[in-house]
Amino acid sequence: MKAFRIFRFLLLVSFLSILWGTSSNAILVSFQAPKAATEKLVIYSSADVDRIVSLVKAFQKRHPTITIDYYELDTLEINQRVIHETDNAMPTADLALSSAMDLQIKLVNDGYSSPYYSEETKALPDWANWRNEAFGFTYEPAVILYNKALAPDLKRIDSRFELAKLLNQQSARMQNRVITYDPEFSGLGYLYGTQDAVRSEDFWYLARSLGDSGVQLVTNSASMINSVADGDALIAYNVLGSYALARARDNQDLAITIPQDYCLVMSRIAVISKAALNPEAAGKFIDFLVSREGQQLIAGPASLYAIRTDISGVATAKKLQETASGPLIPIHLGPGLLVYLDRMKRKDFLSRWRRAMEGK
């Protein structure tokens, strides 16, 4: 892994800011085919490249003539690029892997995807396959992460209501020491926020409490985990469980709580783009992601939580379902996800969020 990091930064890092201006922080990693390359597969993905190296290598062992260009991008950027490039007949991704389920569904609904039928995808639960065009391949819980070295008492914070109560009762202690996603600038943060708003009356109460506490807002889980690990923040809300689990294994200071009022479960969604140059290879990659071998790697080295219930291990849907004390709420694929992408709805949600951040 370490060797690969060096390889990655020395040889293949490129910032694709030509098209997307200075705001883009895209990383391209090219995985050369082990044998003479005959085809190329272009992937846009929101997953850290470190996490999927094992998957890509195993895939290439099976299909040794496919070179993979892996673009690590924000969820919003994946969506905008696929739409922009398809509309303008530019080369685009063959496969988009994104944790922003709503954006992926919108891609499919608006006709930017192409269907894929295979035996392997039948192993997925019904809610994780929409139109055979969007395939969920992970089962990642949104969790609470806290620093048990600095604040062991936070072990009891196991629900949104408890968290809000804590922020209100110990406002001096918690001031600026709580961290969560910024729904305005993070696709996944927006999905979590809106899904919470649909399901829980406590959400806006929590949001106001977060605002009162001067919550730190960031756009990715890695930043949240770093902040809690450094002791900068004591507790993080709606952290990607997969990332938190991986870090908690190495860092004894970090502890994970699965909220017991309910736990949102996100699936990374694979979509083959309509303008794909190599949809066959993209299909093979989807097949691999949902195959036993792929899911075993997702449960193991990638620790992204395998969605298939016939896979066992720590990072699996099966283990999560066995150990969670509260309900697990997987976010189902379907047209309901389009609602909060409505521009007026989004404006309303974000203005309410901003008011809450001001404590109103």
Partner 1 sequence: MTIRPTPSWSIRRRVLAWLFLAMAFVFSANLLSSYYSNIEAANSAFDRLLLASASAIAERTVAREGGIHVDIPYVALDMLASTAQDRVFYTVLAPDGEIVTGYEDLPLPKTISNVPVFYDSIYKQVSVRIVVLRRFVSGNNLSGYTTIQVAQTRGDRDGLSYNLLRQSALWMLVIAIVGAITAWFGVSVGLRPLARLRDALGRRSPDDVRPVLHDVPNEFRPLVGAINSMLHRLDNGLQSMRNFISDASHQLKTPLASLLAQSEMALRESDPDDLREALIKVNKSAQRTSRLAQQLLAHASAAGASPAFAELNLARLVRETIEILLPQAIAKNIDLGYEGGQQAIMQGDRILLGEMVLNLVDNAIKYSPDGSMVTLGIKLVDGALHLIIDDDGPGIQQQDRQNVFERFVRLQSSSAEGCGLGLAIVNEIAIHHGAEVSLGDAPDGGLRVDVVFPANTREDS
How far apart are CB 334 and partner 1 at their closest, in Å?
4
Distances from the Cα of 149 to the Cα of 107, 252, 298, angstroms: 43, 8, 29
166-192 burial, b for 16+ CB within 10 Å, e for fewer? bbeeeeeebeebbbbbbbbebbbbbbb
- Contact criterion met (CB below 8 Å) for 279 and 116: yes
Residues 139-178 that bind partner 1 (CB under 8 A): none
Task: Write the binding mask 302 to 341 for partner 1: x where contact by CB under 8 A, - elsewhere.
Answer: ------------------------------x-xxx-xxx-
Distances from the Cα of 66 to the Cα of 3, 42, 63, angstroms: 22, 10, 6
- Indicate which single residue of 130, 192, 285, 288 sits in contact with partner 1 (rule: CB under 8 A): 130
Question: What letter does residue 161 receive in the DSSP assignment?
Answer: H
- Check residue 343 for interaction with partner 1 (CB under 8 A): yes
Q: Which one, 195 or 295, has the nearer CB to partner 1?
A: 195
Q: Residue 288 CA to chain centroid, in angstroms?
A: 19
- Check residue 84 for interaction with partner 1 (CB under 8 A): no
**Residue whose pair of structure tokens reads 């990715």 in the numeric block:** 220
With 0-12 / 13-18 / 19 or more C-beta atoms within 10 angstroms meaning exposed / middle / buried, residue 156 is: exposed
Q: Which one, 126 or 250, has the nearer CB to partner 1?
A: 126
- Check residue 125 for interaction with partner 1 (CB under 8 A): no
275-289 burial, b for 16+ CB within 10 Å, e for fewer? bbebbebbbbbbbbb
- Check residue 342 for interaction with partner 1 (CB under 8 A): yes
- Check residue 122 for interaction with partner 1 (CB under 8 A): no
- Indicate which single residue of 60, 75, 99, 109 sits in contact with partner 1 (rule: CB under 8 A): 109
- Check residue 345 for interaction with partner 1 (CB under 8 A): yes
- Span from 74-82, 102-110, 214-222, 288-296 in contact with partner 1 (CB under 8 A): 102-110
**Residue whose pair of structure tokens reads 């730190």 in the numeric block:** 216
Distances from the Cα of 39 to the Cα of 62, 64, 116, angstroms: 14, 10, 19
Distances from the Cα of 270 to the Cα of 120, 164, 188, 215, 278, angstroms: 14, 35, 15, 32, 15
How far apart are CB 79 and partner 1 at their closest, in Å?
16
- Contact criterion met (CB below 8 Å) for 129 and 334: no
- Indicate which single residue of 17, 19, 61, 111 sits in contact with partner 1 (rule: CB under 8 A): 111
Helix (H, G, I), strand (E, B) or coil at 121: helix
- Indicate which single residue of 84, 122, 131, 156 sits in contact with partner 1 (rule: CB under 8 A): 131
Residues 171-210 that bind partner 1 (CB under 8 A): 198
- Check residue 348 for interaction with partner 1 (CB under 8 A): yes
How far apart are CB 337 and partner 1 at their closest, in Å?
8
- Check residue 230 for interaction with partner 1 (CB under 8 A): no
Q: First-to-last CA distance in the chain? A: 47
How far apart are CB 347 and partner 1 at their closest, in Å?
9
How far apart are CB 298 and partner 1 at their closest, in Å?
24
Give the count of residues interacting with partner 1 (CB under 8 A).
Answer: 19
> Would you tell me which residues interact with partner 1 (CB under 8 A)?
108-111, 130-131, 198, 332, 334-336, 338-340, 342-345, 348
